[in-house]
Amino acid sequence: MSIKKVHNAHIRELLPELHRSLIEIVSMMNRPERDVELLSKAGLSLERALFPLLVLVERLGPIGVVDLAGRVGRDYTTVSRQVARLEELGLVTRRSNAADKRVREAIVTRQGKVATDALDAAREAIAVVKFADWKREDFDDLVRLMRMLANTMSD
């Protein structure tokens, strides 16, 4: 089996559609009503701006505030205040980085993990409905290709 590589002309032809699709996905993911629905289904009364940070700390932690701010596209000082709020709520704790004591890392607490598990269950319930009519192969391809896209974008 020969593997066909994508030619530049093909990339140029389809890139606008890929870009439009990504914009639509990001726009939909950033809608406040989506966050409200997810928080409601999870049974959480968390400020909408905090829960994406909580999820990233749980998935990527321990993580420094500068790195976290870069990943969410927010100012460091804003994210620092929001992480402090998550700490006040008992959802994360902060500590000095072992290699560089100047760097403060956020780590999810047991209570924070319970909250992210509830968010995961709510996200799963929503996704099961959204993807119910998809063929298994199509969903498998989507997951595989999204992972490939994420890996390519992070290079």
Dihedral of alpha carbons 130, 132, 138, 144, sign = positive
CA within 13 Å, CB half, 146: 9
**pLDDT single digits (tens) 37-94:** 999 999 999 998 898 999 999 999 899 999 999 999 899 999 999 999 999 999 999 9
Three-state SS for 100?
coil
Mean pLDDT of all residues in 1-25: 85
- 67 part of a folded domain: yes
- Mean pLDDT, the chain, rounded, equals 91
Helix 51-60 with 32-42: angle, nearest 10 deg: 70
Task: Domain of residue 99: give its range.
Answer: 46-154
Give start and end residues of each alpha helix (H) in the chain: 8-29, 32-42, 51-60, 65-72, 76-88, 110-130, 136-154
Contact present, 110 and 34 (Cβ < 8 Å): no
- 80 part of a folded domain: yes
- 82 part of a folded domain: yes
Percent of the chain past pLDDT 70, that is, above it, reads 97
CA 38 remoteness from chain centre: 13
CATH of the domain at 52: 1.10.10.10
The answer to whether the bond into 62 is cis (omega within 30° of 0) is: yes
CA distance 2 to 7: 15
Domain count, the chain: 1
